[in-house]
Amino acid sequence: EVQLVESGGGLVKPGGSLRLSCAASGFTFSNAWMTWVRQAPGKGLEWVGRIKSKTDGGTTDYAAPVKGRFTISRDDSKNTLYLQMNSLKTEDTAVYYCTTQRSGSFDYWGQGTLVTVSS
């Protein structure tokens, strides 16, 4: 059974940093493309960024609002995906989901972790 468990969310001040983790199990993590999607309170879904598998180059792509501030990485030895968030803004407040990506869709989702950026 595929399981994705996010952690690391919490309250942070504007300008601060936070690192989210996503522990994966039930599939071959090293072969998977992985994505972060966020959802602000009461709002819709927003794609944050994606990392390819190392065999496909391990490259990353990001949405414009987070490019240059957020970094996605992976540790295949630990079956874990990361999202390093720097220079956080109040508009980054959201539930952050990690997902697997197959073709053009996000097929498995974690339960999400809440990040609140507030002074």
Partner 1 sequence: QSALTQPASVSGSPGQSITISCTGTSSDVGGYNYVSWYQQHPGKAPKLIISDVSNRPSGVSNRFSGSKSGNTASLTISGLQAEDEADYYCSSYTSSITWVFGGGTKLTVL
Binding site for partner 1 (CB under 8 A): 35, 37, 44-47, 50, 61-64, 97, 102-112
Report the nearest approach of partner 1 to the CB of residue 31 (Å). 18
117 token code pair: 């950026």
Report the nearest approach of partner 1 to the CB of residue 34 (Å). 13
Closer to partner 1 at the Cβ: 17 or 49?
49
| Whether the Cβ atoms of residue 33 and residue 56 lie closer than 8 Å to each other | yes
Closer to partner 1 at the Cβ: 50 or 74?
50
Report the nearest approach of partner 1 to the CB of residue 6 (Å). 10
Closer to partner 1 at the Cβ: 6 or 12?
6
What kind and span of H or E run contains 80?
A: strand 80-85
Instruction: For residues 67 and 85, give the distance between their C-alpha atoms in angstroms, rounded to a whole number.
Output: 10
Three-state SS at 63 = coil
Three-state SS at 117 = strand
